[in-house]
Structure 1
């Protein structure tokens, strides 16, 4: 399978837009990889054949949690964080690792096969400073919230829905925590966080994924 190069924007390009529309417009610099991957994966992730839809949604969520867990671990390993950001990033990273374990357990118990962790690519300046780490964290977390909100209406299994509801509540807390660290006033400033479609979520995470990894996510090997 041919690999497609994905151009990863810098942290500044990710964090500069102040609106959701502007955020996804900035992600357009990722190139055609996002559009191609979105078409392939979205079509597979929304398929409901043989009852596989909920498992595919869970695997899609697992890929997002893999991404966040690795980001926070690399942020800690960079050695550039000071308090209180250090403790917050450590706590959030622990949450994401627990989400990974919970989703793997849920998928396995339901008779599915958890998707393998992809190889992720981050902007070259992602871990060079505390400011760059917090800026990227403040873009990851709202995408996580939107992804779970968007998936909720598609989930049929009560166990999967309960897991998604529990996780999205924690992801919302993460948004507020990073807003606090960044001095956003008020930190909880969105009364109705937007639900994101799978296409929008894929556009957001495409710069961090190689094309092969995108095509393996949430596949029918369940």
Structure 2
């Protein structure tokens, strides 16, 4: 087992990056589609995640803030696993209630290669947080309360990977870390997936496509490592659990088996799956009714929660 005595990446921003010039109102409805928050704008506005009375007030800033909550979760998970430290105070302030992060510590990886992968993904997720915060400026939401301890145990129990009285420590070893990462990664891809060609504003289209591409790279990396380790049944169990949370439609796939790999989960047309905000919330809340529990015990910050 490799002993990582020094943190693989300790660089911290001296200050927030300058706000990116982007028109949050341009192409509002099509940008919603590009983030994969609904099959179409009408589907998004009918989502249970937004109260009907507030539906017409949803803006692109609300969509970016929804994404920012999810990026906070991923960044805190990967940073703590790879370096033992999370985001800095200047990276998590904002509107709404600032919450703590419970759980999480540096993983003692068996393989330097996997440690490197974790470190690289952590850098990417931190950059996503910084970029979205720069886009949002003063309306960026604060990091909500995040649970990286009990939530993983609840997820593992739901998947049948832990008994009803057993705990699952996502940071105990390399395999546990990879399975925990698998819980998030495919959700990120499906949340961002949407009709990017329909976006009228080229800047909006570029940001949506860019983040989606990076999340897809991450998901493919995790799936490939899990496949190489032969963790087929464990990955399938997690996939089944996600599918049971997001509703009756089949939007999830495992990594295959020893005879046939399934590293790229796609539909019959060869396209990545897409989830609505309600479906995403059900998974991260670990609750099919969308009630805040799980990884966000007090819910998300922002309108879509």
TM-score (norm. length: structure 2):
0.51
Indicate yes or no: 2:207 matched with 1:201: no
- The corresponding residue for 1:55 is 61
- The corresponding residue for 1:133 is 177
Deviations 1:144-192 (A, max 9, x none): 1111115869977553332121100111111111112112535335332
- In 2, Cα distance between the equivalents of 1:47 and 1:153? 24
- In 1, Cα distance between the equivalents of 2:132 and 2:200? 16
Paired residues, number:
173
- The corresponding residue for 2:107 is 79
- In 1, Cα distance between the equivalents of 2:56 and 2:209? 21
The 1:59/1:155 distance shift into structure 2, 3 A limit, reads farther
1:127-206, aligned counterparts within 5 Å? 127-150=171-194, 158-183=202-227, 184=255, 185-190=261-266, 191-206=270-285
What runs of 5+ residues in structure 1 fail to find an aligned partner?
1-37
- The corresponding residue for 1:100 is 129
- In 2, Cα distance between the equivalents of 1:151 and 1:217? 24
The 1:93/1:195 distance shift into structure 2, 3 A limit, reads same
- The corresponding residue for 1:42 is 50
Please give the secondary structure, in 1, of the residue aligned with 2:112: coil
What runs of 5+ residues in structure 2 fail to find an aligned partner?
1-46, 85-105, 153-167, 228-254, 256-260, 286-293
The answer to whether the 8 A contact 2:50-2:303 is kept is no
The answer to whether the 8 A contact 1:54-1:155 is kept is no
Indicate yes or no: 2:293 matched with 1:217: no
Q: Give the superposition deviation at 1:113.
A: 0.4
RMSD: 2.6
- The corresponding residue for 1:64 is 70
The 1:104/1:91 distance shift into structure 2, 3 A limit, reads same
- The corresponding residue for 2:89 is none
The 1:205/1:217 distance shift into structure 2, 3 A limit, reads farther
The answer to whether the 8 A contact 1:120-1:208 is kept is yes
The answer to whether the 8 A contact 2:107-2:172 is kept is no
Whose helix proportion is higher, 1 or 2?
1
Which structure would you say has the larger RCO, counting Cα contacts within 8 Å and 6 or more residues apart?
1
The 1:134/1:126 distance shift into structure 2, 3 A limit, reads same
Please give the secondary structure, in 1, of the residue aligned with 2:145: coil
